[in-house]
Chain A
Amino acid sequence: MKRLNISRNTRSNFATYAMVIIVFLVLQILGQGGMLSSTLKGQLVPICAYVVMALSLNLTVGVLGELSLGHAGFMSVGAFAGTVAAVSLQASIPSAGVRLLVALIVGAACAALAGFLIGIPVLRLNGDYLAIVTLAFGEIIKSIVNNLYIGMDGGGLHARFLNNTMTLGEGGRMILNGPMGIPGITKISTFTAGFLLILVALFIIFNLVNSRSGRAIMAVRDNRIAAESVGISITKYKMMAFVISAALAGAAGALFAQGQTTVIATKFDFNTSILILVFVVLGGLGRMWGSIIAAAALTILPEALRQFSEYRMLVYAIVLILVMLATNNPQIRGFFTRLSKWIKDLLLLRFRAARKLAGETDQKGGGEQ
């Protein structure tokens, strides 16, 4: 039975890797054959970035069990740190691929640092309080980046806060311009880079979860008091999950920014945090393949259904509520279980069984509404 369980877990992980690789290959082939619309092509890098964001948030919400409402803040730190690195190294590193790698690493490192600093106070709290404080930090990060000015000249990088009183030397240029953000970014993110980042994120998360540290993180989620009683330090493992999650979000932010021409701080606001939370919740807490599908689908669909764009957020909201009700209310969940069983029976063409069950479902389902 144990063997079965382990293999089920591993099988699901490998299926996730396989799904990502196959989709990538199919899209590559379609792209070579010129069968992808230019809108979709333009969406590929953002999709990868959002997938990594969803995976990263799923580590915090699904595996660690704490709600973070400021995840876009880490994306923001990664985006701006990564872009500043990429722009300032444009001359010294001519290879776009290497520059992107450096940007991703710088973005991840800076976001991890931000995650660590924020984690010190935040992780002492629990539940709703932690959620509200992460929200507060998300807003603080937005305000800080919105008032940050970074310029570069022969003497290196210069930074000012609140007011741009910088005088740059010969050949100097502004990189980050407060509320104007970073304009004129050279697009160096590619779909392949995004795909690789997704694989790296999956690799880190899967291997972490199936190791000593990952078990400890899940133990903290399942029962804090019991975890302490067996000698597991709550703060240490909460921090570990939080920092890794922040680092992945930072890398995603850097990837996202290098695929845009301009990034501004207000792009990474509370709404973005919620959007990513929607991906995670719809995909299923702790279910990485779910996050990938939800993030990809919900980034493509609005583009595909452009005429309904006004209704998009409304539909997201309704779906979010319905999913929570369906997964957390025993009666509604029971109804859905019976419904899916009924559909399964119908598909298996067990006519008699299905007919009998259908009668039951109708009666019970009707009674509950």
Chain B
Amino acid sequence: MSQTNRPATKLVPVPSKNMIPERDADKSPILECQHLGIDFGGLTAVNEFTMAIGRTEITGLIGPNGAGKTTVFNLLTKVYQPTRGTILLDGVDTHNMNTVQVNKAGIARTFQNIRLFSNLSVEDNVKLGLHNHIKYGALSGVLRLPGYWREEKIAHKRAMELLSIFHMEDLAGAKAGSLPYGAQRRLEIVRALATNPSLLLLDEPAAGMNPSETAELMENIVKIRDTFQIAVLLIEHDMSLVMGICEGICVLNFGQIIAKGTPEEIQNNPEVIKAYLGSGKEE
């Protein structure tokens, strides 16, 4: 397990009993969830989810299958409306927002099962991420007014810059659906980044990648955080990735947070070990 490239930050507690990096400590957290919960029919999928994420913190959300990790993402992005609790994004309650507004407010995400615009080119996928930053209307587009040429030129340049994070400029013209699996995952990250988020949610970014690809991805996630100065919340089953780059980790089981803390704390937490290995009573 490589822990060498983990930034040497000291972690300090914030009032919501979360640990965020010292460099963010004097600032308000970018995301604060308080007592978040959702019920599907009678089933409580997530309950009492309370955590805070610092402005430049990389946080891991881990837990066994079906623990409710992706549901947390869906709550944050308002794919589902929470039954209980509040989400504060940069101090603003997202209660009345929908998915589109939450994205405009600064949360971008990737998906566990890749959701690209697979019939469009790689560049168009990134430009769709830039959609709300391209300033010209449908009429300018149809009539090819100067605004169209100016904005499209800027968008093209920006898309290429973003693709260069993963060295994907050469693939710009390829159809997104025809890319190999790993490249599709990377493109999803680029597309999410293009929306200019302050919090990036990555749902199993390393799924299906080999160890060397995963190592490269780890470097890139840290690089993205450092360049864009944004917070990252990631769901991942690859423990080398989680322990390697996350400053704070939150463990979810049966929809409840069972542990929060630094990687070391989590690794030695008996609750976590029980959740992952079973208590012996369960099947």
> Which residues from chain A sit less than 8 Å from chain B, CB to CB?
1-6, 203-204, 207-208, 210-216, 218-219, 221-223, 225-233, 240
Contact of A223 among B117, B142, B152 (CB under 8 A): B117
Write out the residue numbers on chain B whose beta carbons fall within 8 Å of the beta carbon of A232: 100, 128, 131
The answer to whether B99 and A222 touch across the interface, beta carbons within 8 angstroms, is no
The answer to whether B116 and A231 touch across the interface, beta carbons within 8 angstroms, is no
> From DSSP, what is the main secondary structure of chain B's interface residues?
helix
Q: How far is the CB of B232 from chain A (nearest CB, A)?
A: 16
Q: Is B191 an interface residue (CB 8 A)?
A: yes
Given contacts A212-B134, A213-B138, A231-B103, contact A1 B174 (CB under 8 A): yes
> From DSSP, what is the main secondary structure of chain A's interface residues?
helix
The answer to whether B99 and A229 touch across the interface, beta carbons within 8 angstroms, is yes
The answer to whether A230 and B138 touch across the interface, beta carbons within 8 angstroms, is no
Closest residue to B175 on the A side, CB-wise? A5
23 cross-chain CB contacts under 8 A? A1-B170, A1-B172, A3-B173, A5-B174, A203-B142, A208-B141, A208-B142, A211-B136, A211-B148, A212-B127, A212-B136, A212-B155, A213-B141, A215-B128, A216-B131, A219-B128, A223-B118, A227-B128, A228-B79, A230-B129, A231-B104, A231-B132, A240-B138
Write out the residue numbers on chain B whose beta carbons fall within 8 Å of the beta carbon of A1: 170-174
The answer to whether B173 and A5 touch across the interface, beta carbons within 8 angstroms, is yes
Chain B 104-119 interface mask (CB, 8 Å, partner A; 1/0): 1000110100011111
Q: How far is the CB of A315 from chain B (nearest CB, A)?
A: 31
The answer to whether B173 and A6 touch across the interface, beta carbons within 8 angstroms, is yes
> Which residues from chain B sit less than 8 Å from chain A, CB to CB?
77, 79, 98-100, 103-104, 108-109, 111, 115-121, 123-124, 127-129, 131-132, 134, 136-138, 140-144, 148, 151-152, 155, 170-174, 191-192, 194-195
Q: How far is the CB of B110 from chain A (nearest CB, A)?
A: 9
Closest residue to B177 on the A side, CB-wise? A222
The answer to whether B79 and A212 touch across the interface, beta carbons within 8 angstroms, is no
Residue among A3, A215, A232 with max Cβ neighbours from chain B (10 Å): A215
Given A214-B141, A229-B108, A230-B129, 6 more pairs with CB closer than 8 A: A2-B173, A215-B124, A225-B111, A225-B115, A228-B98, A229-B77
Contact of B120 among A2, A222, A225, A240 (CB under 8 A): A222
CA distance A340 to B242 in the complex (A): 51
CA distance A240 to B138 in the complex (A): 9
